[in-house]
Chain A
Amino acid sequence: MKLLDILLNSRLFALIIKEIRQILRNRQLIFLLLFPPTLQLLIFGLALSPDVKHLPLAVVDYNQTRESWELVSALKENEIFDFKGYQSDQVNLSQKVQQGKLSVGLIIPPDFQRQIKQGKTAEIQVLLDGVDANSAGIAQGYIKQIVNNYNQKIADVPIQPLITTQVIFLYNQGLNSSWFFVPGVIGLVLTLTGILISALTVIKEKDVGTLEQLLMTPAAAWEILLAKIIPIFVLLLGDLLLASTLGRLVFHLPFRGNFLVFVLLSSLYIFVCIGIGILLATLVKTQQQISLISFFFNIPIIQLSGAIAPTESMPIFFKNLSVLDPLRHYIEISRTLILKDVGIESVWTQTIALLIFAALILSLSISRFRRQLF
């Protein structure tokens, strides 16, 4: 009881109350905490999808026999290709692939049936729109598999392949692409909001000139700063819960790992973001510059983090650079803990990295903050 009394009467507590009142009065801040995170989560989660599905496909069938029709229907029978009808000739077909109106063009030669009947190999030609190199590669793999399966079906002696592969996708059986993006976007949301909010609250005092007044009070610099950090931290924790709830309800994220560990490690990352925000605020003079400078700071942070494209595929220089990106480590943590049923032992390297970042950035920003005061 006495401890609580001391706490309630302390300067720090009074300062925290002041900060909370200031935040609650600031409508722009509340807006920034609620609206952009929701929008970003929904748009990123819904709009980004590397699925290779419903690729427009058209066929030129110079053979027009039962065999060729069966081949075409084998290609039609799945979600990967959308059959867009037959084309009259090859020139027409290739032109449409070239213009991007078709992703796949199939040409069946006139002697298709005859070759098969004579036991020779019939060559069909497949044209793929290669502008999107990634999708083209996956589509190519699918076509090969479909043609192979069809080959096994039409063989004179039923083919028994003696080795078959049984593929299991762990952690994301349905290959639901939002499960890849949304855990990353949670990290992205914390970064964008955390940096901006903490920078704005610190710089506002500087901008308006009330910082000098605060300094004349008996409160120490660390009390002033801590009183600023704590409410922001609580608000960002709220943002994390908002994002997790949206992820759970809209995208059905499984949250297989321990949720408490997830919240704990996320808190660690929130401190990193607050540190970056305060650091940026010490670098510039006015509120005006903050939004601009945080925008440019955010681009490399997001791009090197693997939120959108995997870090493994980056060229070696950028891959090494990405180790310096705290968001990269956090995203690895959040993807692991949301999708896999594992604990902190699977992400301890990332946790240590975040601890180092938090310690470094927070102490740097606090020392800079103090230096500019005196």
Chain B
Amino acid sequence: MKRILTQCIKELAQFRRDKLTVVLAFVLPLGMLLIYGFAIRLEIKNINLSVLDYDNTPFSRSYIERIYATNQFVPVRYKTGGLDRGEVRATVVIPPKFSRNFQSNIRSDVQVTIDGTDVNNARVIQNGIKATTNFFLQDVQENLPKFKIQADTRIWFNPGRKESLYIVPGVYAVILWVFPSMLTAIAMVREKQEGTIIQVYASDLSSTELLLGKWLAYFIVAIAEATVVISFATALFQIPIVDNILILIGGTLSFLAAAVSFGLFFGVRSKNQTGAVQGTSILGFLSAFLLSGFIYPINNIPYPISLLSNLVPAKYYIILTRDVFVRGTGWPSVWYIPIVLSAVACFFLLICSRILRKMQFSD
């Protein structure tokens, strides 16, 4: 036990002395937090929309006014080919005789053409225009009987549909997976690359002690990292904890333990730093980014890739952070997550100790 602690203290001293790793551990995660936290927004708020009004009557103009009154759309003068050049996202064409038809009870079709390139916002635009048209109708069409059913929708947790509430808890998972694992991998592989591992092999330190010492040191670094990142983001994005703080602590500790073990595994496996960085960054980053439900709903991942996403620890941690920062439903819905994550940590540690058991060079 004492030897593990000594090893850990030595490792921390080494960490402090290397400027690059300190930057890696604290500056870059904060930079990433800012970029991800601010720049990922799925829904466009000010959509360029142009209207071609063949009718040009007070009636058609009041319809146009109603469309722009939603604050969703920004008026842009109609030009041919505007959609092709990407200047507008949608065009609305009001047919001739729009108002005369309306007065004589004849239906008119308003042509809406939407740029379908950005699939998500194409849907948002479609819903927006349809809803506005319906509201307009209810105001102007007198013979329209009152609708018998009124849907009273309540959007839970996030009535203002603030997207940061969805993105930021997910960013925690990406950052706290990628950086701790990369730091650990680099530290482990450095010992091999510089040949100092022979000295360790020659000493009476056992492989388990070596691994646990390194693990503990970087676990401590990771905790410091998590504290900095989460408290900074809480203040900056105003996303307070709405749940039992013990859930956040338990979940984060087990997630960090898994990340550090994952990094240790890559450090033990790779021969040089390039391999360690490539392994943790590409595999860790892509999985935490793409297969965790960070940006788009996890249910949309098709089979069989969806099976793969079950193996991604970040997926579980995101469920937990969204519960802690948004849902607030407490232990009953997330009790299994710290257990799963701790199991992942133990799994990687066991593999590491198997690889390193002989304490000899492989070649």
Contact A163 B41 (CB under 8 A): no
- Expressed in whole angstroms, the Cα–Cα distance for A299 and B192 within the complex equals 28
Q: Which of A235-243, A300-308, A355-363 contacts B (4 or more CB under 8 A)?
A: A300-308
CB neighbours of A51 from chain B (8 A): 119, 300
Contact B42 A134 (CB under 8 A): yes
Q: Given A175-B119, A310-B121, do A50 and B86 touch, yes or no (CB 8 Å)?
A: no
CB neighbours of B165 from chain A (8 A): 131, 133
Contact B119 A125 (CB under 8 A): no
Contact B150 A121 (CB under 8 A): yes
Contact B145 A172 (CB under 8 A): no
Contact B119 A166 (CB under 8 A): no
Per the 8 Å Cβ criterion, residues 100-129 of B in contact with A are 101-102, 105-124, 126-129
For A28, the closest partner residue in chain B by CB is B274
Contact B114 A167 (CB under 8 A): yes
Which residue of B36, B105, B273 has the most chain A CB atoms within 10 A of its CB atom?
Answer: B273
Contact A308 B40 (CB under 8 A): yes
Interface check A211, CB cutoff 8 A: no
- Expressed in whole angstroms, the Cα–Cα distance for A291 and B278 within the complex equals 7
Contact B44 A312 (CB under 8 A): yes
- Which of A151, A288, A310, A339 is within 8 Å of B149, CB to CB? A151
CB neighbours of A136 from chain B (8 A): 155, 158, 161
Contact A100 B327 (CB under 8 A): yes
Contact B145 A156 (CB under 8 A): yes
Contact A166 B111 (CB under 8 A): yes
For A174, the closest partner residue in chain B by CB is B116
- Expressed in whole angstroms, the Cα–Cα distance for A130 and B160 within the complex equals 9
Q: Which of A19-27, A38-46, A217-225, A274-282 contacts B (4 or more CB under 8 A)?
A: A38-46
CB neighbours of A44 from chain B (8 A): 290
CB neighbours of B115 from chain A (8 A): 169-171
Contact B107 A162 (CB under 8 A): yes
Q: Given A176-B119, A310-B42, A318-B38, do A131 and B158 touch, yes or no (CB 8 Å)?
A: yes
- Expressed in whole angstroms, the Cα–Cα distance for A129 and B161 within the complex equals 11
Interface check B35, CB cutoff 8 A: yes
Q: Given A140-B153, A160-B107, A165-B129, do A47 and B305 touch, yes or no (CB 8 Å)?
A: yes
CB neighbours of A332 from chain B (8 A): 86
For B309, the closest partner residue in chain A by CB is A47
Contact A157 B305 (CB under 8 A): no
CB neighbours of A161 from chain B (8 A): 107, 137, 141, 144
Contact B161 A130 (CB under 8 A): yes
Per the 8 Å Cβ criterion, residues 41-65 of B in contact with A are 41-47, 63
Contact B274 A121 (CB under 8 A): no
Contact A50 B296 (CB under 8 A): yes
Contact B305 A43 (CB under 8 A): yes
CB neighbours of A123 from chain B (8 A): 149-152
Q: How far, in Å, is B138 (CB) from chain A's closest CB?
A: 10
- Which of B83, B300, B305, B319 is within 8 Å of A50, CB to CB? B300
Q: Given A121-B148, A166-B110, A295-B277, do A310 and B118 touch, yes or no (CB 8 Å)?
A: yes
Interface check B245, CB cutoff 8 A: no
Interface check A143, CB cutoff 8 A: yes
Contact A346 B119 (CB under 8 A): no
Contact A173 B116 (CB under 8 A): yes
- Expressed in whole angstroms, the Cα–Cα distance for A44 and B295 within the complex equals 12
Interface check A58, CB cutoff 8 A: no
CB neighbours of A317 from chain B (8 A): 38
Q: How far, in Å, is B330 (CB) from chain A's closest CB?
A: 10
Contact A168 B286 (CB under 8 A): no
Interface check A18, CB cutoff 8 A: no
Q: Given A134-B163, A170-B115, A310-B118, do A47 and B301 touch, yes or no (CB 8 Å)?
A: yes
Contact A163 B108 (CB under 8 A): yes
Q: How far, in Å, is A62 (CB) from chain B's closest CB?
A: 15
Interface check B299, CB cutoff 8 A: yes
Tell me the count of chain B residues lying within 8 A, CB to CB, of chain A: 105
CB neighbours of B45 from chain A (8 A): 313
Interface check A137, CB cutoff 8 A: yes
Interface check B361, CB cutoff 8 A: no
CB neighbours of A154 from chain B (8 A): 148-149
Contact A47 B122 (CB under 8 A): no
CB neighbours of A296 from chain B (8 A): 28
Which residue of A130, A173, A290 has the most chain B CB atoms within 10 A of its CB atom?
Answer: A130
CB neighbours of B114 from chain A (8 A): 167-170
Q: Given A167-B129, A346-B86, do A159 and B144 touch, yes or no (CB 8 Å)?
A: yes
- Which of B124, B274, B285, B322 is within 8 Å of A290, CB to CB? B274
Per the 8 Å Cβ criterion, residues 42-84 of A in contact with B are 43-44, 46-54, 71
The proximity string for B residues 131-168 relative to A, scoring 1 for CB distances below 8 Å and 0 otherwise, is 10110110001011111111111111111011101100
CB neighbours of A133 from chain B (8 A): 43, 158, 161-163, 165-166
Interface check A9, CB cutoff 8 A: no
Q: How far, in Å, is B28 (CB) from chain A's closest CB?
A: 6
- Expressed in whole angstroms, the Cα–Cα distance for A123 and B153 within the complex equals 10
Contact A138 B133 (CB under 8 A): no
Contact B117 A335 (CB under 8 A): yes
- Expressed in whole angstroms, the Cα–Cα distance for A312 and B45 within the complex equals 8
Per the 8 Å Cβ criterion, residues 139-154 of A in contact with B are 140-145, 147-148, 150-151, 154
Contact B39 A163 (CB under 8 A): no
Contact A163 B107 (CB under 8 A): yes
Interface check A210, CB cutoff 8 A: no
For A40, the closest partner residue in chain B by CB is B286
- Expressed in whole angstroms, the Cα–Cα distance for A53 and B297 within the complex equals 10
CB neighbours of B131 from chain A (8 A): 141, 144-145
Interface check B272, CB cutoff 8 A: yes
- Expressed in whole angstroms, the Cα–Cα distance for A339 and B105 within the complex equals 40
Interface check A309, CB cutoff 8 A: yes
Q: Given A129-B156, A303-B39, do A145 and B136 touch, yes or no (CB 8 Å)?
A: no
Contact surface of B with A, Cβ cutoff 8 Å: 24, 28, 31-32, 35-36, 38-47, 63, 81, 83-86, 101-102, 105-124, 126-131, 133-134, 136-137, 141, 143-159, 161-163, 165-166, 186, 272-274, 277-278, 281-282, 285-286, 290-291, 295-297, 299-302, 305, 309, 319, 322, 326-327, 329, 332-333
Contact surface of A with B, Cβ cutoff 8 Å: 36, 40, 43-44, 46-54, 71, 95, 97-100, 115-116, 119-138, 140-145, 147-148, 150-151, 154-157, 159-173, 175-177, 179-180, 287-288, 290-292, 295-296, 299-300, 303-304, 308-310, 312-315, 317-318, 322, 332, 335-336, 339-340, 342, 346
Question: Lowest 7 CB-CB distances: which A-B pairs, in order?
Answer: A141-B127, A172-B116, A169-B116, A130-B158, A130-B155, A50-B120, A133-B161
